[in-house]
Amino acid sequence: MTHHDHAEKMCAVTCCPCHIDLEKVKERSNNPKYICGTCGRVANSEQYVCDPQPIS
Ligand SMILES: [Zn+2]
């Protein structure tokens, strides 16, 4: 995994206030299908969290 890939995950995008890109957060979590098993953040696609668990 490259640093760029990690930076694309919701976990990384939202972990620090100075890194929040609210537009990315909104477009990636407006219809969440996955929740991160590590930090509990949600995302539309499993590629945006570090430990994706399907939301049933
Ligand atoms: Zn996470």
Residue-range definition of the domain harbouring residue 12: 3-54
Q: What is the pLDDT of residues 10-35, one digit of tens each?
A: 877 776 667 778 898 899 999 999 99
Centre of ligand 1 from the C-alpha of residue 18, in Å: 17
Q: What is the pLDDT of residue 3?
A: 52
Q: What is the pLDDT of residue 4?
A: 54
What span, in angstroms and rounded, lies between the C-alpha atoms of 33 and 20?
A: 21
Centre of ligand 1 from the C-alpha of residue 9, in Å: 8
Centre of ligand 1 from the C-alpha of residue 30, in Å: 17
In the chain, the number of structural domains is 1
Q: Which residue pairs, CB below 8 angstroms and at least 24 apart, start in 43-50?
A: 43/9, 43/10, 47/8, 47/9, 48/8, 48/9, 48/10, 49/9, 49/10, 49/11, 50/6, 50/9, 50/11, 50/12
Centre of ligand 1 from the C-alpha of residue 10, in Å: 7
